[in-house]
Amino acid sequence: MQVSVETTGKIERKITVVVPAERIDSEVDKRLKSMRGRVKLDGFRPGKVPLSVVSQQYGDSVFQEVAGEVIQSSFYEAAEKENLRVAGMPNIEATSIGAGKDLEYVATFDTYPDFEIADVSKLEVTRPVVKVTAADVDEMIETLRKQQQEWKEVKRGAKEGDLLTVDFEGRLDGETFEGGSAEDFSVELGAGRMLKGFEEALLGMKPGEEKDADVTFPDDYPSENLKGKTVVFSMKVKTVSEPELPKVDKEFIQKFGVEDGTKKSFKEEIKKNMEREVEQRVKAIIKQSVMEGLNDAHEVELPAALVTNEIKQVRQEMSENAQGADMSTLPDEMFKDQASRRVKLGLIVGEIITKNKMEKDPVKVDQMLEELASTYEDPQSLIEYYRSNQQAMQTIEAAVMEEMIVDWVMDQAKIKEEKMGFAELMNPEAKQKEDTGDDAGDKDKKAASKKSTKKIASTKKAPAKKAAEKTAKKTAEKKTAAKK
């Protein structure tokens, strides 16, 4: 086999491979002979079909099959011979192919780039330092109470925090419009789900009261016909309900898996869960900071085939996250930046592992698996599931390797510790908005609090096996123009 290599770019290579005709023809002949005993053709007894007839009937298809296999195997033989690290699938073009002829083809492909690992001692990584306080625990309990609050009808005027049942009809230039009317519509004042002017108009209204209110839509409102327009809403408040929070008593506490039902045990369990969430959050922040630092510190030529494959992966993940929405018509460019970053980090991490001869640590894998299993009702069942599922175990092993990379960087990088509160750690965006006077900060904070309590406040352990799919369908909220 003859091989010649041409450098056509920083990481692009072109090789010309010539395979002797004998290698293909002998394999074709061998396969045709083996077929002879199995082929059934009219006019011939089984196993007695002449080789020339078998060759005439199946020669072309067998040749194509063998040629394809030889091209594939000889390409990787050639790449290994020339010490070429092929990245992705090559583009192969046959220049000479046929029975009795040498097989010649040209393969164009990218190789894995050669680069030096940057000096990570110059990286700066901020490590959040958070102490869960008694006030944090009390605030979490209040959030829990609000999540389980009930609504009690009142006869007074509506105020922020109340839940109203409203009929309304909107008119633009005297005409009703699509999405501008609803009956028995629920509005929680202060939740920010409706236009600010719409909620303000409802403040103070009592059950049975009606009025007309001018509400101006923002200039960036999605509907073109309503941008910046003032609409007259005819409103009728049917009910006003105020929140009624449950008492933190034995019955309430036991709902969260604290069997003795005491406030002391409840607070201890919540604090323990909050501290576990802090630890996980800090790890995630440090990992993100380390990966961003590695990404910024390296210039790496990216193999096009790897980026193309990763674009497909990103597209698929986005489709799954969007509940199966069709992403196939969206341009590759939309996913390219994210895919390129993933490929680059993969190459960097791979190089660090290779250069530092890092290997999978079975002890750390076991520790991570046990830590994960400890949050489930039946830890052993989960451990056995992972142990018997190679793909599942690979996710644990990959996570351990990532931690090893982060530790390797942190041992050398400049570490800056930053003290912060629990709320700021869990939702830094809300803190930023508060600092700039943005009233959306408080809403973000509430939303983050609700999200975090799903992980933190519920002290009950989840079952080890997948729960059955929920059959109850959520009632979709009616979409109206007055909604944000």
d(CA 278, CA 131): 9
Residue owning tokens 């990584």 = 125
Q: Quick one: CA dihedral 295, 300, 301, 304, positive or negative?
A: negative
pLDDT digits (tens, 9 = 90+) for 358-400: 998 899 999 999 988 887 878 899 999 999 998 889 999 999 9
Q: What is the pLDDT of residue 350?
A: 93
pLDDT digits (tens, 9 = 90+) for 184-238: 999 999 998 999 999 999 999 999 999 999 999 999 998 899 999 999 999 999 9
Backbone angles phi, psi at 81, to 5 degrees: -60, -40
CATH match for 2-111 among 3.90.1150.10, 3.30.70.1050, 3.90.190.10, 3.40.640.10: 3.30.70.1050
- Mean pLDDT taken over the chain: 87
In 273-366 the beta strands, taken as DSSP E runs, fall at none
Q: How do strand 414-419 and strand 124-129 relate by DSSP bridges?
A: parallel
- The 3-state DSSP class for residue 58 equals helix
C-alpha pair distances (Å), 193 with each of 142, 381, 389, 484: 22, 43, 44, 6
Residue owning tokens 């018509």 = 329
Average pLDDT on 134-142 reads 96
pTM > 0.75: yes or no: no
Domain locations in the chain?
2-111, 150-244, 262-358+394-456
The size of the chain, in residues, is 484
Could you tell me which CATH number the domain at 150-244 has? Answer: 3.10.50.40
Q: Which of 58-62, 119-123, 296-300 has the lowest mean pLDDT?
A: 58-62
- 2-111 against 150-244: fold identical: no
Cβ atoms of residues 193 and 272 within 8 Å: no
pLDDT cut 70: percent of the chain above it: 88
pLDDT cut 90: percent of the chain above it: 71
Question: In the sheet that 86-96 helps form, which strands lie side by side, from edge to edge?
Answer: 2-7, 12-19, 103-111, 86-96
Q: Which of 69-73, 174-178, 346-350, 449-453 has the lowest mean pLDDT?
A: 449-453
- The DSSP call for residue 376 is B
C-alpha pair distances (Å), 116 with each of 7, 160, 365, 414: 21, 60, 29, 20
Average pLDDT on 400-423 reads 94
| Strand partners of residue 185 | 166
